[in-house]
Structure 1
Amino acid sequence: MKRLSLAFDSLVCGLMGVLTAVTVLFLVMPLIVVVLTSFNPTTVTFPPRVWSLQSYAVIPKVAIDAFVRSLILGVLSAALSVLLCVPAAIALVKARVPGRPFIEMALRSPLQFPAIILGVAFLQYYFFWQHKLSLPLVGTFWGLLIAHTVYTFPFVLVPIIARLSAPGARLEEAAAGLGAGTLTTVMRIVIPLLRPGIVAGMFTGFVMSFEDVAVTMFLVGSNMTTFPVYLLGNAEVSNTPSLYASASLGALVALALVLLVERFFGLRTVLGKG
């Protein structure tokens, strides 16, 4: 009976391993196809008949500009969201704020609506200010930055609130009892405790900003587009190896970001498992 049980356990483990491998392959196969296709020299075939880096050499300047712009936009919007979310989270969790559930629900509201609705709302809002104050925001970097900061705000807020609400986050009460001032408690106790939540929030915020299309496509201009919007627009009208080479740059950024987080913080710590 014991041998039968061990055999059954081995069979289940083997099936789970196969299922996991198939799932991972299913998830990464589209990325593998994009990267491999980018090594075609002139025409798109899969797998490539001739392997070449020519497509990377002819990536259009507009694609490079959009790529760099999306990087800067993602970093700035994630950083601004952190600067806004940390005091907001501390106030919501630690202070007795009247109407806290409604305030928190309002701060998380961008999560409750489809991103495309948020994009239309920003477009109308920007047109209103442009009409009233002659303040052009549509098709500008600052307009994109404001929209991306609002869009990424709840993605940054949630892990920070979760970290601040954890049982270990009560150490500031002990510090205050030992005579530490408010500023000392915040800088030496609260902020270090929040570090995994801040890093997780910045990680998520950057990714959401960098890959966004639904909000951004309403706010870009002819000379102010982002990398995902550029890829979407060109994928509809052309199918060249340079397009796949451009898309591979996005995959490279995602991989580099994961490696950096793992190197300096550890993914288990950031995800709250360490």
Structure 2
Amino acid sequence: MSSETVITCEHVGKAFQLYLHRNDQLKQTLFGRWRRFHHQHWVLRDVSFKVARGERVGIIGRNGAGKTTLLQIICGITKPTVGEVEVKGRVAPILALGSGFDHELTGRENALIGGAILGVKRKLIEERLPLVEAFADIGEFFYQPLKMYSTGMAARLAFAVCAYADADILIVDEALSVGDAAFQAKCDAFIQDFAKRGTILVVSHDLTMLSHLCDRVVWIEDGAVRDVGPSQDVVEDYRDAIEGRAKVAQAASA
């Protein structure tokens, strides 16, 4: 693992504008200079951490903690409200890419566009299309419009495109759990192989997997960093906290 930092998050915060009434968004557009018609909901608050080249870092936290929003900021899908994010190298955002697919185009056409978005030259994308098709393993649907795909099929295609994008940084969302056991095994094998040569940032509820795959883990709670450290230590503390909450909830309902 290199000492060079490839992902830097400094005091990152993200707030969404929430409107209570139907016309408030229009009012904000017209009269927002003088009055605010929304209130801010902070999903992330003052998040800071760094990832070194070749490091494998996991992100854990309960549903709604802000994990996916953090990945979207790092991928450049959305911007932070406050703070700075710097990423060095080509990023392959597994499954986040699929959210930008054109459902009127075929899987093959989306693979070409997806590769271009990830910075791969057209000639190289075309050469690798048979590999992408084989990895996705969706049969003749590769040549059909995406609107005919199930969620799992679109996820397969997105993963396959990222797998052959020559990325420096692999960012994996917890939604990777879609698909059958055979495809999940294929994805796991790819991630394990990529870990030998690239940087990985992964969100998952599979604590055992994170303990074995990752060097460090970032624990996000209520939009803030609660802990950062060696994967096994942080995962153990997180598991204890979750089990503690579960016992309290059981006692309260008894």
| TM bracket, shorter-chain basis | under 0.3
Higher helix proportion: 1
Higher strand proportion: 2
Q: Which structure has the greater CA radius of gyration? A: 1
Greater RCO, CA 8 A, separation 6+? 1
